[in-house]
Structure 1
Amino acid sequence: MTSQTKSDKFRSLLLLFIFFFSGFAALIYQVIWQRWLVFYTGISSVSISLIVSAFMAGLGLGYLAGGQLADRAGKNRPLLLFVLAESGIGLFALFSKSIIYDWLYLSNALQAGSDFQIYLVLFLVLLFPTFLMGLSLPLLSKAFEEKTSENQANYISLLYFTNTLGAAIGTFVTSFVLIRVMGFENAVRLGAFFNFACAITSIIIYYLETKRKAGNQTKEEPIFIPDSQAKGFSWNRNFLYWILQYTMSGFMAICFEIMWFRMIETMMKSIALTFSIILAIYLGMMAVGTYFGVRFAKNHKGNRLKLFLNAQYLLYFYTIGSIVILQWGVPAFPFLFDYFKSYETSFATNIAIATMFIIPMFLMAIPTFIMGFSFTISQLIIQDKFEEVGRKVGWLQFMNIVGSTAGAWFVTLIGFNYLGTSLTIKLISLIGLVYIYVLHRHKFNTLFMRIGMAAGLVLAVFLLPSNEKFWMKLGGMTSEKDFIIREDETALSFIKSFGGNAFVYTNGLGQSMFPFNQDNTHIVLGAIPALIHPNPEDIGIIGLGSASTLYNAGGREVTKNLDCFEVIINQPDAVYEYVERSGDSSVYYIMNDKRVNLILQDGRYFLHRNDKKYDIIEADALRPKSSYSGNLYSLEYFKLLQSKLKDGGLAITWGATERIKNSFLSVFPYTYEFGGFMLVGSNKPLELNEEEILKRLDDPFTKSHYARANIDVRALLSNTLQSKRVLQNGTTKVTKNVNLDMWPKDEFDFGRIWAGILKEEE
């Protein structure tokens, strides 16, 4: 091996290593910037789709521009442009908290309006870094010239492999380690360090390569192409077909990813780590597939187009087939079926392994492996001219992003809202018939085999049940009369009836129950603050659930307004369906109470954007491990509550952890605990005269209100008042170990999950 060959190999390996950390940093940013942007947009599936779409739009434009720049740059110059791109990303990252959180959110610099206005703001804010991220792959694809077109295609695939692998590991490490250990802001700084390290290392490679070439006395002509200057582009029919394929592939990939997320999140019961687990598997297996494609192609010299088309068919067939097998197979595993039916999250080892690893891998591993494998095979077919490498990579990746964006909006706005998960899966899976048609046109495979492939896909589509029956299985239910489902872009809402009671679920996790008199937790949360406040005219409640907290908060005639914030738009419809089936008069009463204003948006978002003040504000009990729960348990959130209270107003929260208590105590100088779980904070001491408070129950309106729901509020109120503890009386303490917007420690405290697993195993 010559010294030049060794140098080329070392250079290529070093570039692959660099691109790994570029992908790692990019996913640090995606995970954390998405969290920050939600403060501006509010938490909802639509807002998440807007953020992801804006992120992808910038990437797509970067791919397109990167391809043009790569083909028009001189030798080695794409590497220099990559240096500038990485440096720009790192610089933006260092200022991103100031831009996204401080300026966009805290200062209310740009008031959010329609969805289009929000998208435009997000696009403009994210354009600079995402555009530079998109430049990277086309630039590095053209950074150095390989000896043959096959080597060039393999080099591009290896770049894609390392970057995607870095992204997968970055997703996992960010959520499981970095956020927990150092918080959002420091994790972003670490990402910036990786970008700068990539830039510096690339500068060194550029310098050494330039010096080496300058020292060569003879100029070696490459076998691939004699000129790297950009010339005309081959807009032939074949390339247009590949443009269509990459667009359709992006559409399919994002559709399946979103639907996998909905299914797996529901089975996991919506913990904060769900997104990272799914994305890490998705990207990781795609990376493995890409690498395997490179290794496989070296030994497989057969018809690559035939291989590609068969792989695409297998992707669609396996995806819907695995979902059919899953919903058929769940009842065969009683521990899983019972868990899907259950109210609480469990971290028992068998359940954690099944829901966090086995099921996601079963559903996602093979399809995403095929996606990566197909990328390699397609590059081997497409790349045939070095002068067009950058533009081909750029155009194809750009159109892939276009397809992904269209897919995200199709599933979000049409699929979940009008078709349901089951029918959406069926329709997307039928795209697989297109590949059978192309196989037929090329006369690949035998006629009998093509007919069998089509029949198999259609049969799998037929076997997937209707949306209600599909979710019944994954919800652990067997009777349609005991199961209510509502689905839209915001979430899945279930109401399950068993044991004489009905239970409300959101994305598989129990929230509250009917009838109201069986739900002491929500009686305390709603009734106690309303009864101890001397004049609660305006009450704000974050979260509808079964409407139990809302009902119990409305027990006094002096209350004129009950604002209830609910981010899940279909939740009221599910409650109305329960009323229609059960005839529960108390639920019907509160849902039609003229004092109630249902505000279907993020409660924190509304409070931040509006000047209205309340006598009482509370968030319905939210588990600290739930996704985005940190936004309602942070020091900054409690300060927001404080600023929205009238003089003598009360802020209410569930004191689920020590950090939540510390955060609450840091804000409210007068803090009380009731029932061992409910924290009440105020800027003034409470006048808790038990005799006077109990007298309020003799008011005819109050008496009638609680009697309607058969709630013995007197006994519960008396017991709760006697359990009162004064946690702080007049001095605001600055407490350590708190939850912050920039460091939601409880939400990402993975150690506590392990503690839960060990405890349940004992």
Structure 2
Amino acid sequence: MLQSTTSQKYRSFSLLFIFFFSGFAALIYQVIWQRWLVFYTGISSVSISLIVSAFMAGLGLGYLAGGQIADKVGKNKPILFFVLAELGIGIFALVSKSIIYDWLYQSNILSGGSPFQTYLTLFLILLFPTFLMGLSLPLLSKAFEQKNAENQASYISLLYFTNTLGAAAGTFITTFILIRVIGFENAVRLGASFNFLCAITAGVIYYFQNQDTEPATSQTIETEKGFTWNRNFTYWILQYTASGFMAICFEIIWFRMIETMMKSIALTFSIILTIYLAMMAIGTYTGVKMAKKLQNNRLKLFLNTQYLLYIYSIGAILILQWAVSDVSALSFLFEYFQSYETSFAPKIAISTMFVIPFFLMAVPTFIMGFSFTLSQLIIQDKFDEVGRKVGWLQFVNIVGSTIGAWFVTLIGFNQLGTALTIKLVSLIGLVYVVALHRNKFNSLLSRILMGASLILVIVLLPNNEKLWMKLSGMADEKAFIVKEDETALSFIKTLGTESYVYVNGLGQSMFPFKSDITHFTLGAVPALIHPNPVDIGIVGLGSACTLYNAGGRAETQSLDCFEVIVNQPEAVKEYVRRTNDSTALYIMNDKRVNVILQDGRYYLHQNPKLYDILEADALRPKSSYSGNLYSVEYFKLLKSRLKKGGLAITWGATGRIRNGFAEVFPYIYEIDGFMIIGTDQPLEFDENKIFERLENSFTKNHYGRAGIKVRENLEKVIKKRVVLQNGTVQKAKSYNSDMWPKDEFDYGKLWEKILGKED
């Protein structure tokens, strides 16, 4: 029976409405589950790619199964299956923290497992909820039979629009509001309530729809018909696979570029994904509204828009890298890219957080959404095949996305570099020029110009070193070092007599070591205070300045340095090769040093080794994932890995960090106004003994080699010490926890800064 009554139309609209909240909840989960999963995989691009791949694998299988179910079950039954799927997602969400964090992480169940075991576990854990999420679109696509194929395609596109718009809203609101106001666990519970709301509403729709449906007869009973898998559908299978590959490739590339230009803050991922999803939703809706005007030459329009997507994507990058270095009006951006710190000055924040992301992403993602509607208008011609067509196409799109994610991560960034990866992905655009030629769309001259234009833009895009040099605010190749792999971008910029180390655009430390008082304090002061620092662990390499200063005692036998950025040691070695800086070369070759290329918290959680000193090199509280190194749970982990009388060191950048330390360590001391030392017993600050240690020949030679005025520096900072806690553990109202990293997401005055209302 065709949909005709007003009540049925309202039910159809209601399904569209609740599908918004289903998408909203899904992105709450993606944002937060990813945070929980890295606790036992470690923070690296590879581990995050594992998580995203596991997430997408479940979705893909759900799409495929959902299409089969939708076409096989009787009239209205797809709505019932949607109800069950939403209930299942909500139930899993309510227990997800117990499974992902409490069981997998706290019990250390994957300790010593292989990467394959880790991925398999991720896949199996996420399979249930993501499979159910994937079921939804194919099921609802078959929920109501429209009066003709065009209306059916438009309805499918509206479903995609509302779900994607909900996902965009979920991404933005989760990061900017929910995490900040209620934390991870409560945000997930809110997502579960949305799933239950969707299930209840869809259940009511199912009930009344059944009441209005005529009893099944031999003429009205739906039977499964053979699926028309012809050459034309095979072409669309290939197109959706290529589309998924391209979309994820550009998304990851855009993230790397924008994160570097923003200087790696916790909001970067949310901003990028919000724009990506929102513009895709708008594009989808625009396609629906223009459906009747697009009746002629839909395939021609589709092929032309795909070409436009590719040439715009690479062309925008080409224009951006040229403009920031050569357009005087944008000189402020060039200067900011060169600078050391993140800035929320109005012009900088608006440019890096909104203007540049929109310029790079808005048009391509709009086209992606528009293309979805256009392709559905072309493909959907039989109601009996609606579910399977949607399911198969979304499944292969996910397959393409998964291949693209691993291509960019393991081959693109590792072997080719960002620039060459962009060029290779953009070459796919030529396929659409060939398709236009085969179908004799556009004039011959037009097709030749289109192909030539894309090739020209690809050729004009500079190589990797020059691309990143411009986007880093540098003009002299000799003063710039770049190392890139799947983990991050490492830069070393020489400005005057000093050189600075950057990771993803944000300054970390500097050369020569004698000029870096901050990292001298972090490294040398704990080592000189401790009576016998045999084993020292440091999270973060940077320029190796903290590591070098921590190694000034002959008593020290091991210096473990945990660095998640795999290319960071190579960047330091390249600096040494160019400058012959003997201090950096010395510490990198020191037999006591063991550089462990792994997430520091993950390593400490997995390994029982005890240390005399443990510290994280100063990490800005608002940097992405910084909450993992400033939570009470992390401080407890540090305490469990210290020998008796051992020292835990952190940057006391905020009151919450200090409160967290006070929850864990009975004795807390502040040095030079920024460094916090925590220990389980009183710390002796005998200045005579400390300065006597400087007379040791090993210590003299070590600091003298770097030209560090160790006595002068030590006298300045050791006098600036304050006892913050002396033997009692305090309970604080506000601190950072794994379930609520408040400092990382506390941008309460961000908008005032952007709008210029705050100095």
Alignment TM-score, normalising by the size of structure 1: 0.98
Alignment identity in percent?
73
Shift of 1:112: 5.1
User: Counterpart in 1 of 2:528?
Assistant: 531
Partners of 2:409 and 2:189 lie apart in 1 by: 33
User: Counterpart in 2 of 1:125?
Assistant: 125
User: Counterpart in 2 of 1:233?
Assistant: 227
User: Counterpart in 2 of 1:390?
Assistant: 387
SS at match of 2:417: helix
User: Counterpart in 1 of 2:110?
Assistant: 110
User: Counterpart in 2 of 1:465?
Assistant: 462
User: Counterpart in 1 of 2:643?
Assistant: 646
SS at match of 1:497: strand
User: Counterpart in 1 of 2:449?
Assistant: 452
Gaps of 5+ in 2: none
User: Counterpart in 2 of 1:135?
Assistant: 135
User: Counterpart in 2 of 1:281?
Assistant: 275
Partners of 2:601 and 2:119 lie apart in 1 by: 20
Instruction: Extract structure 1 runs of 4+ deviating beyond 4 A.
Output: 218-221, 755-761
Partners of 2:234 and 2:756 lie apart in 1 by: 58
Would you say the 8 A contact 2:752–2:758 is kept in 1?
no
Would you say the 8 A contact 1:270–1:508 is kept in 2?
yes
User: Counterpart in 1 of 2:416?
Assistant: 419
User: Counterpart in 2 of 1:25?
Assistant: 25
For the pair 1:493 / 2:490, whether they are aligned, the reply is yes
User: Counterpart in 1 of 2:14?
Assistant: 14
SS at match of 2:194: helix
Counterparts of 1:532-681 in structure 2 under 5 Å?
A: 532-681=529-678
For the pair 1:441 / 2:438, whether they are aligned, the reply is yes
User: Counterpart in 1 of 2:515?
Assistant: 518
User: Counterpart in 1 of 2:504?
Assistant: 507
Shift of 1:753: 3.0
Counterpart selection for 2:680 from 674, 683, 686: 683
Residue by residue over 1:400-451, the C-alpha shift from the partner in whole angstroms, topping out at 9 and shown as x without a partner, is 0000000000000000001000000000001000000011000000000000
Partners of 1:574 and 1:178 lie apart in 2 by: 38
Counterpart selection for 2:300 from 306, 311, 318: 306
Q: Taking structure 1 as reference, are residues 180 and 618 closer, same or farther at Cα in structure 2, changes over 3 Å only?
A: same
Would you say the 8 A contact 2:3–2:146 is kept in 1?
no
Task: Give 1:289's aligned amino acid.
Answer: G
Aligned residues: 755
Counterpart selection for 2:313 from 299, 310, 319: 319
Gaps of 5+ in 1: none
User: Counterpart in 2 of 1:338?
Assistant: 335
Would you say the 8 A contact 2:3–2:9 is kept in 1?
no
User: Counterpart in 1 of 2:77?
Assistant: 77
Would you say the 8 A contact 2:310–2:429 is kept in 1?
yes
Q: Taking structure 1 as reference, are residues 404 and 99 closer, same or farther at Cα in structure 2, changes over 3 Å only?
A: same
Task: Give 1:186's aligned amino acid.
Answer: N
Partners of 2:15 and 2:402 lie apart in 1 by: 30
Partners of 1:582 and 1:345 lie apart in 2 by: 28
Task: Give 1:33's aligned amino acid.
Answer: W
Task: Give 1:175's aligned amino acid.
Answer: T
Partners of 2:313 and 2:378 lie apart in 1 by: 25
Residue by residue over 1:456-491, the C-alpha shift from the partner in whole angstroms, topping out at 9 and shown as x without a partner, is 100110110000000000000000000000000000
Would you say the 8 A contact 1:544–1:566 is kept in 2?
yes
Residue by residue over 1:28-74, the C-alpha shift from the partner in whole angstroms, topping out at 9 and shown as x without a partner, is 00000000000010000000000000000000000000001111110
Q: Taking structure 1 as reference, are residues 531 and 758 closer, same or farther at Cα in structure 2, changes over 3 Å only?
A: farther
Partners of 1:667 and 1:753 lie apart in 2 by: 31
Task: Give 2:736's aligned amino acid.
Answer: N
User: Counterpart in 1 of 2:425?
Assistant: 428
Task: Give the stretch that moved more between structures: 715-724 or 595-604.
Answer: 715-724
Task: Give 1:256's aligned amino acid.
Answer: F
Q: Taking structure 1 as reference, are residues 408 and 742 closer, same or farther at Cα in structure 2, changes over 3 Å only?
A: same
Partners of 2:734 and 2:218 lie apart in 1 by: 64
Partners of 2:317 and 2:5 lie apart in 1 by: 48
For the pair 1:401 / 2:398, whether they are aligned, the reply is yes
Task: Give 1:529's aligned amino acid.
Answer: P
Residue by residue over 1:495-541, the C-alpha shift from the partner in whole angstroms, topping out at 9 and shown as x without a partner, is 00012100000000000000001110000000000000000000000
Shift of 1:547: 0.1
Q: Taking structure 1 as reference, are residues 220 and 446 closer, same or farther at Cα in structure 2, changes over 3 Å only?
A: farther
SS at match of 2:647: strand
Shift of 1:162: 0.2
Task: Give 1:433's aligned amino acid.
Answer: L
Q: Taking structure 1 as reference, are residues 186 and 462 closer, same or farther at Cα in structure 2, changes over 3 Å only?
A: same
Task: Give 1:694's aligned amino acid.
Answer: F
User: Counterpart in 2 of 1:155?
Assistant: 155
Would you say the 8 A contact 1:348–1:760 is kept in 2?
no
Residue by residue over 1:208-240, the C-alpha shift from the partner in whole angstroms, topping out at 9 and shown as x without a partner, is 1111225x9x9999xxxx764221111111111
Counterpart selection for 1:743 from 740, 743, 752: 740
Would you say the 8 A contact 2:175–2:267 is kept in 1?
yes
Task: Give 1:244's aligned amino acid.
Answer: L
Partners of 2:757 and 2:346 lie apart in 1 by: 8
Residue by residue over 1:681-702, the C-alpha shift from the partner in whole angstroms, topping out at 9 and shown as x without a partner, is 0000001111111110000000
Partners of 1:733 and 1:739 lie apart in 2 by: 15
User: Counterpart in 1 of 2:265?
Assistant: 271
Would you say the 8 A contact 1:288–1:372 is kept in 2?
yes
User: Counterpart in 1 of 2:372?
Assistant: 375
Residue by residue over 1:543-594, the C-alpha shift from the partner in whole angstroms, topping out at 9 and shown as x without a partner, is 0000000000000000000000000000000000000111111111000000
Shift of 1:7: 1.2
SS at match of 1:735: coil
SS at match of 2:296: coil
Counterpart selection for 2:717 from 701, 720, 725: 720
Shift of 1:610: 0.5
Shift of 1:9: 1.8
User: Counterpart in 1 of 2:211?
Assistant: 211
User: In angstroms, what is the RMSD of aligned CA positions?
Assistant: 1.5
Shift of 1:720: 1.5
Shift of 1:736: 1.3
Partners of 1:311 and 1:75 lie apart in 2 by: 36
SS at match of 2:213: helix
SS at match of 2:33: helix
SS at match of 1:698: coil
Partners of 1:320 and 1:228 lie apart in 2 by: 48
Partners of 2:96 and 2:627 lie apart in 1 by: 20
Would you say the 8 A contact 2:610–2:643 is kept in 1?
yes
SS at match of 1:751: coil
Would you say the 8 A contact 1:41–1:112 is kept in 2?
no
User: Counterpart in 2 of 1:91?
Assistant: 91
SS at match of 2:566: coil
Would you say the 8 A contact 2:347–2:754 is kept in 1?
no
Partners of 1:755 and 1:597 lie apart in 2 by: 45
Partners of 2:106 and 2:115 lie apart in 1 by: 20
Shift of 1:5: 2.8
Partners of 2:193 and 2:473 lie apart in 1 by: 47
Task: Give 2:286's aligned amino acid.
Answer: F
Q: Taking structure 1 as reference, are residues 437 and 758 closer, same or farther at Cα in structure 2, changes over 3 Å only?
A: closer
SS at match of 1:165: helix
